[in-house]
Amino acid sequence: MAGCLWRLVQLVLVLALLSVLWVGLYRVVDPPLTLIMARDRLAGVELRRTRVPLAAMGRALPRAVIAAEDSRFCLHQGFDFEAIEAAMEANREGRRLRGASTISQQVAKNAFLWPGRSWLRKALEAWFTFWLERLWPKARIMEVYLNLAEWGRGVYGAEAAARHHFGKPAARLSRAEAARLAAVLPAPVARDASNPGRFTVRHARTIERRMRVVEAEGLDGCLWR
């Protein structure tokens, strides 16, 4: 029994070390494919994806996703405990259910894990998020996030999204266009940035106002150092 337990401990330690090395590898090597992309490919969906570095995306879209998804991105270390507390309070009071997933957590999920809500996946997400924040600079986290994000069936990454929805490269997106792309992120198949419904239009306008705050207060400063 003791020998089996020791072998199990050794296996866990090896897997933990390999996972950290995997995170370190993706600091310099782009993730080739996510499980969501693989799902689309197996379903016969054509993948549209063009990887571009963060510097070639312009500032509008990174600013928009910070405004929409994670306003404290440059301030936290992977977990926004203020947002978690606010989400728990809103959910306890019976208001619209809300999450508190940071951009770093979304990168951990998209780059290394599978979609789902199991406790195992959440635990692994926390593990990968911890190491992402310690091995990658914030600019790399944002770059990978924007290159993996889904913006429509088979449309992945900022460059493909900008060209698909607006017929232009990501670097040339206006503030309003970037806000509309950020507005569809929670439901990229159900919502359409190029032909938005009323809710998406209203949400995009809110994001656009928040973008001005992000810029004025330097909440995206960690991306441009």
Residue 108: per-residue pLDDT: 97
pTM of the model: 0.91
pLDDT tens digits, one per residue of 3-35: 788 788 888 899 999 999 999 999 999 999 899
Mean pLDDT of the chain: 91
pLDDT tens digits, one per residue of 41-87: 999 999 999 999 999 999 999 999 999 999 999 999 999 887 666 65
Residue 94: per-residue pLDDT: 59
Q: Which residue has the higher pLDDT, 188 or 88?
A: 188
Token pair for residue 56? 């070639």
Domain residue spans of the chain: 33-223
Q: What is the mean pLDDT of residues 196-224?
A: 96
pLDDT tens digits, one per residue of 78-135: 998 876 666 556 555 555 544 568 999 999 999 999 888 889 999 999 999 999 999 9
Residue 200: per-residue pLDDT: 95
Give the amino acid at 182: A
Q: What percent of the chain has pLDDT over 70?
A: 91
Core vs surface per residue 37-56: b (16+ CB within 10 A) or e: beebeeeeeeebbebbebee
CATH fold for domain 33-223: Penicillin binding protein transpeptidase fold (1.10.3810)
Q: How far apart are CA 21 and CA 182, in angstroms?
A: 31
How many helices (DSSP H) and strands (DSSP E) are in the chain?
Answer: 10, 2
Give the amino acid at 29: V
Q: How far apart are CA 117 and CA 12, in angstroms?
A: 22
